[in-house]
């Protein structure tokens, strides 16, 4: 079956979808103080709800995103959009902190829609995956980072519950647009059943050192990111007396990184992964150093926020571009592996950040974030290798010396591989339209 070529309208709609759905993940962070007060709960209990969203998100990526390699992506995306809207309503009506924790976990589990959308766009983009990953992730970042600002403003002048009602309305509008415009996009027609599809993830992860290295370094950078954003509202409120509205504005500060995301993709396509990773992870480390040296100045937090988010999200673009050099038949599962480990790292960093904050304050948080970034650097450089953008993967998950598209398969998929070639060739028409 020939994949439909994406018009500019479809590309824009996919970008908006990434923005709207990704915003659901971080709405709670600038509202933690209000949530704790509303339920009479501790800061630790409120922060745990934000952590559970990350845990649920990682579980959703693990269990739902691989389906994109098997089923038609249109009904998969529309179903996830509908269920996510229901979860947002459940959060908005939470009567207790326990209900909120459960609803937040469900919301995270149902939200990884961008991780189904991204491989769809990459399959149409072809030989320069960094470009389309950067474009779609720019939309994802607008949602992730601007959501904190709009949540903080609404929370400050209205209620934290209104934030979730408004997000549910945005989801409804986006779902209607997708239902009208999103074309039918079959999966790779893999021969694997769902249980085997999930089992194949371990073959891909542990059968190739490069994949494992990309995932581990991504998790460590995610840990540094989670520690920062899950404690930022507490330090800004305690050190500077800021309310949710001002705290949310740091999301707009961080949104400047969205403009550099496509540049990171082009950088990986042009310079290669090794040099790109060195520059981006050092940017993350520099951000933490700024925050550690002078934590009593607002300017330090502004500069640190920009450096951290530019480095973190640029690193993510480069990591995904590296993995998407393999055959489209496995893109959803490679994306699953990467984002499960990435968001488990974010969840671990969120939990660790709260504990470090409770025990020793901001210096401990900043030190932990810096160490995570420094640990990620040698792993990322090792995973990048020395050739091109990191080399492709053969059937056994080992590095190839050439740069042709290759197929990383597990037993049971060899017949399906031939059918996947058609998907790869059919994507060329879409790539031409994307270039217009």
| pLDDT value at residue 82 | 96
Q: What SS3 class is residue 301? A: helix
For 203, how many CA atoms within 13 A lie in the half-sphere containing its CB? Answer: 18
Q: What's the rounded mean pLDDT across residues 19-36?
A: 87
The pLDDT confidence band at residue 111, using thresholds 50, 70 and 90, is very high
Cβ atoms 11, 431 nearer than 8 A: no
Residues sharing a CB contact under 8 Å with residue 360, sequence separation 6 or more, in sequence order: none
pLDDT in tens, 294-346: 888 888 888 998 899 889 988 888 888 788 777 677 778 888 889 888 878 98
In terms of Cα–Cα distance, which of 202, 217, 215 is closest to 397? 202
pLDDT in tens, 366-394: 999 999 999 999 999 888 774 433 344 43
The pLDDT confidence band at residue 44, using thresholds 50, 70 and 90, is confident
Task: Give the relative orientation of helices 331-360 and 209-240 as an angle to the nearest 10 degrees.
Answer: 40
- This prediction has a pTM of 0.70
Average pLDDT, the chain: 79
87 or 150, higher pLDDT: 87
- Tell me: pLDDT of 171 over 90: yes
The pLDDT confidence band at residue 364, using thresholds 50, 70 and 90, is very high
- Tell me: pLDDT of 407 over 70: no
Q: Which residue carries 């209900």 as its tokens?
A: 99
Q: What's the rounded mean pLDDT across residues 259-273?
A: 72
CA distances from 328 to 68, 407, 418 (A): 11, 8, 12
| pLDDT value at residue 217 | 93
- Tell me: pLDDT of 258 over 80: no
Q: What's the rounded mean pLDDT across residues 66-94?
A: 91
Q: What's the rounded mean pLDDT across residues 193-209?
A: 83
14 or 8, higher pLDDT: 14
Domains along the sequence of the chain with CATH: 8-427 (1.20.1250.20)
CA distances from 122 to 115, 134, 281, 316, 328 (A): 11, 10, 24, 15, 8
């Amino acid at each position: 079956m020939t994949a439909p070529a994406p018009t500019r309208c479809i590309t824009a709609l996919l970008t908006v979808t990434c923005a709207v759905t990704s915003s659901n993940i971080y709405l709670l962070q600038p509202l933690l103080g209000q949530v704790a007060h509303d339920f009479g709960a501790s800061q630790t209990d409120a922060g745990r709800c934000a952590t559970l969203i990350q845990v649920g998100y990682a579980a959703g990526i693990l269990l739902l995103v691989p389906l994109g390699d098997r089923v038609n992506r249109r009904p998969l995306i529309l179903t996830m959009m509908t269920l996510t809207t229901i979860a947002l309503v459940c959060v908005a009506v939470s009567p207790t902190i326990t209900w909120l924790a459960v609803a937040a976990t469900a919301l995270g589990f149902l939200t990884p829609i961008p991780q189904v959308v991204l491989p769809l766009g990459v399959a149409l983009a072809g030989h320069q995956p960094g470009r389309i990953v950067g474009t779609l992730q720019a939309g994802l970042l607008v949602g992730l980072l601007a959501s904190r600002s709009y949540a903080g403003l609404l929370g400050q002048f209205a209620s934290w519950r209104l934030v979730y009602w408004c997000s549910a309305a945005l989801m409804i509008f986006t779902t209607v647009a997708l239902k009208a415009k999103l074309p039918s996009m079959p999966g790779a027609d893999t021969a694997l059943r769902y249980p085997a599809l999930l089992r194949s993830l371990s073959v891909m992860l542990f059968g190739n050192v490069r994949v494992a290295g990309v995932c581990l370094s991504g998790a460590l950078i995610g840990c540094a990111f989670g520690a920062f954003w899950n404690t930022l509202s507490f330090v800004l409120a305690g050190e500077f007396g800021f309310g949710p509205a001002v705290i949310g504005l740091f999301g707009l500060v961080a949104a400047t990184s969205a403009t550099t995301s496509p540049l990171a993709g082009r950088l990986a396509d042009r310079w290669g992964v090794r040099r790109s990773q060195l520059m981006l992870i050092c940017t993350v480390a520099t951000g933490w150093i700024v925050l550690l040296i002078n934590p009593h100045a607002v300017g330090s937090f502004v500069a640190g926020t920009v450096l951290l988010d530019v480095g973190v999200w640029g690193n993510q673009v480069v990591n995904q571009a590296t993995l998407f050099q393999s055959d489209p038949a496995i893109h959803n599962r490679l994306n699953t592996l990467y984002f499960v480990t990435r968001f488990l790292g974010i969840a671990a960093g969120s939990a660790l950040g709260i504990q470090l904050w409770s025990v020793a304050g901001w210096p401990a948080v900043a030190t932990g974030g810096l160490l995570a970034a420094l640990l990620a650097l040698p792993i990322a450089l090792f995973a990048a290798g020395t050739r091109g953008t990191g080399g492709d993967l053969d059937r056994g998950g080992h590095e190839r010396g050439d740069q042709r598209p290759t197929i990383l398969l597990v037993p049971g998929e060899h017949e399906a591989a031939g059918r996947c070639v058609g998907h790869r060739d059919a994507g060329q028409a879409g790539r031409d339209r994307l270039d217009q």
